[in-house]
Structure 1
Amino acid sequence: MCESSHITSGSSSVMAQQQGNDGERDALISPQKASRESISSMITASFNFINSIIGSGIIGLPYALNQAGLPLGLVLLIAVACITDYSIVLLIKGGNLSGSNSYQSLVQSTFGFPGYLILSVLQFLYPFIAMISYNITTGDTLTKVFQRIPGVGPDHILAERHFVILLSTFLFTLPLSLYRNIEKLGKVSFLSMVLTLTILIIVMIRAATLGPQILPTENAWTFAKWNAIQAVGVMSFAFICHHNSFLIYGSLKEPTLAKWSRVTHISVTSALIISAAFAVAGYTTFTGRTQGDIFENYCRDDNLATFGRFCFGLSIITTFPLECFVTREVISNLVCSRNLSNAEHVAVTMLIVAVCTSLSLAYDCLGVVLELNGALSATPLIFIIPSGCFLRLSSGRWFQGENLIASILIIIGFFVMITGLILTALYPQDCSHGVEMFYCADANISVTVPPQ
């Protein structure tokens, strides 16, 4: 197992305690400088955290409301966000109790090597499948963007999803993934946030201009629907960020639980506001017709939606490297006993990106990927493992104080995971990849230019 368990600048990882000592020395030399650097690191960490949460999963949140019903869906979305916030702080608390500085070492110190292996599989599986979904989304969105260029038709190479995925991989995701320092992605994360806000505005505009022209489906405003558990899986996929927690915690100047709690609350709350607004705007536009990829609902000749597709595709490209950081860390922890050399770092990164790209070229149904990854990987990483570690390390009985909350989260987690997997297998989402919606042929609907 690698000696380091999170990635920082240079050729080796720096433990959080050492970072705290460095911060104290800086404060003795220049308190104002140390304070500015501390605030800057918190802002950068927040950008990275929000960017980690708001990935391709947000595109499926309108569909999650379609599964659960609008009112119940919003309640579940808020509940998932609150549980996410609580379990992230719980995770770092467990790390402090056990003296661990990574998710893997925390689980190993509490559940031994079998627990470490289970976590490693889950912690690798989630970001790995997420990267596949990012590539699928890139292929879906940017091909439609390129088709709006004069002279680029359906048979043009720029309209071929395989070519677009390969092009974005070589030009953007692979070079960004080769960074060794997660802090260097702070500006990229800020760009991704700006793009996500732009997408939110576009979806809200279309809710006001296109939504009234599309008749709601039957039972569009039903409070609850029977397959709400599948919606929880999609929401869990959208909010999972625990696999990045120790990485981002370690990037803080003088990392403390108080600072981490502030970063977590700000990041999760911001992500919840953006996600809820996006989900409601998307669902109210198309109601029961809402698909797993909301941009599949918009017409091809909708220029505003095309710009939104471009922004989302670029946002996904900038999120990809954060997930690659985690998958590379898990691999290095499992197969080596030292820090990766520069050559090994490049080789492992290229292998991860190559496998993800190959799988995304072979499979193109985003909705099923979101549901399965949410139920199989995200749910245990959010609900079960952080709570289990805290229960094992904390004193007192399981039904007392904070232990009771952790125990309830474990029960909920197993229920959501098992039920979600069964429902996804029995009632998989229909994949209508690339199909033009029937209302796009309606002459009464103007989508290219919003009504004046």
Structure 2
Amino acid sequence: MISYNITTGDTLTKIFQRISGVGPDHIMADRHFVIIMSTVLCTLPLSLYRNIERLGKVSFLSMILTVIILIIVIIRAATLGPQIPTTAEAWLFAKWNAIQAVGVMSFAFICHHNSFLIYGSLEQPTLTNWIRVTHISVGSALIISAAFALASYVTFTGYTQGDIFENYCRNDNLATFGRFCFALSIITTFPLECFVTREVISNSICGRELSKVEHISITVIIVAACTALSLPYDCLGIVLELNGALSATPLIFIIPSACFLKLSPGRWYHSENLMPAFLIVLGVFVMITGLTMMGLNPQDCSHGAEMFYCNNANISATLPPV
């Protein structure tokens, strides 16, 4: 949720600056103001729903917007990419900081924490339906994520930011429309994570269904805490790496595998237990190495500044309007 707020602040400020009369010093170009207003007007009201099924249409809208954004990124890869100088050794297969990318991708694909809520929202919550839903959703997410990564890196190579819309120039109308779709998609995704956090708190602390007052109070506290933490930080890449190493990697690799080994009657070296044991070792390695490399080699961040190639008159002039 913190990363979603940072993304919203980065994205909406650039959209508002395309409005006549809104300059860099305008209040609508201030990321703190934008994050607070988007929270009060959008994410908090959506997070106050009690039933996750109510967000079904919102989630479908988010999926449609994601496809539109992907199309925009691919178009810009063809029109903008050839005009941006390629960085040195841009096409080496992997560097040491690829381990940091494992944590980021783990964060992108983590869905374990809301599995029970989604399973309970199915019209027919059977194992067959659950298998079909998970394979289709995760499989499509894999294809879309790979297409985003490839198109973005082809365009910007070593200049690629943690938030790829930080790479596009502010006078790019097509990218501005993409930013709008991206911000709307992020705002509609935020409540899904809030549902999970609230459910965990209600189960572990209250141990019962929340009353209306408790439901509202806990939701407001969660959203306010995430908003407060997102205001002083404006580098998405570092937040994603930290989330990936500290939360996503244990949730994806370590904890499920450890639960499987605990419940398995055989020894860890039995054939059915070798893969979970390997995943635990892999998860610990990625977590420790990712945190170490994040400290030694933190990701560069533009902090909202215009990229150097946007000052090139030829590039700016060749960006076609929508």
State TM-score, norm by structure 1.
0.69
Find the partner of 1:178 among 41, 45, 48: 48
1:199 aligns with 2:69: yes
Contact 2:69 2:181 in 1 (8 A): yes
Provide the rounded CA distance (Å) in 1 between the counterparts of 2:317 and 2:182. 19
Structure 1 regions of 5+ residues with no counterpart? 1-130
Contact 1:240 1:382 in 2 (8 A): yes
What CA deviation, in whole Å up to 9, does each residue of 1:297-323 have, x standing for no partner? 111111111111111111000000000
Structure 1 residues 373, 393: CA separation in 2 closer, same or farther (over 3 Å shift)? same
Contact 2:172 2:320 in 1 (8 A): no
1:405 aligns with 2:288: no
Find the partner of 1:141 among 4, 8, 11: 11
Tell me the C-alpha RMSD between the 2 structures.
1.4
State TM-score, norm by structure 2.
0.96
What CA deviation, in whole Å up to 9, does each residue of 1:380-411 have, x standing for no partner? 00001111111111233323343221111111
TM-superposed deviation, 1:448: 6.5
Find the partner of 2:83 among 208, 213, 221: 213
Provide the rounded CA distance (Å) in 1 between the counterparts of 2:272 and 2:219. 40
What CA deviation, in whole Å up to 9, does each residue of 1:255-298 have, x standing for no partner? 23222111111011000011000000000101011111111111
Q: Which residue of 2 aligns with 1:278?
A: 148
Provide the rounded CA distance (Å) in 1 between the counterparts of 2:230 and 2:298. 19
Q: What percent of counterpart residues are identical? A: 79
1:244-393 alignment, distance < 5 Å: 244-393=114-263
TM-superposed deviation, 1:342: 0.8
Q: Which residue of 2 aligns with 1:444?
A: 314
Structure 1 residues 412, 392: CA separation in 2 closer, same or farther (over 3 Å shift)? same
Structure 1 residues 233, 447: CA separation in 2 closer, same or farther (over 3 Å shift)? farther
What CA deviation, in whole Å up to 9, does each residue of 1:201-222 have, x standing for no partner? 1110000000011121111111
Find the partner of 1:152 among 7, 12, 22: 22
Contact 1:303 1:447 in 2 (8 A): no
Find the partner of 2:288 among 409, 418, 423: 418
What CA deviation, in whole Å up to 9, does each residue of 1:153-194 have, x standing for no partner? 112111111111111111110010000100110000000011
What CA deviation, in whole Å up to 9, does each residue of 1:393-451 have, x standing for no partner? 12333233432211111111111111111111121112221111111111221466439
Contact 1:166 1:357 in 2 (8 A): yes
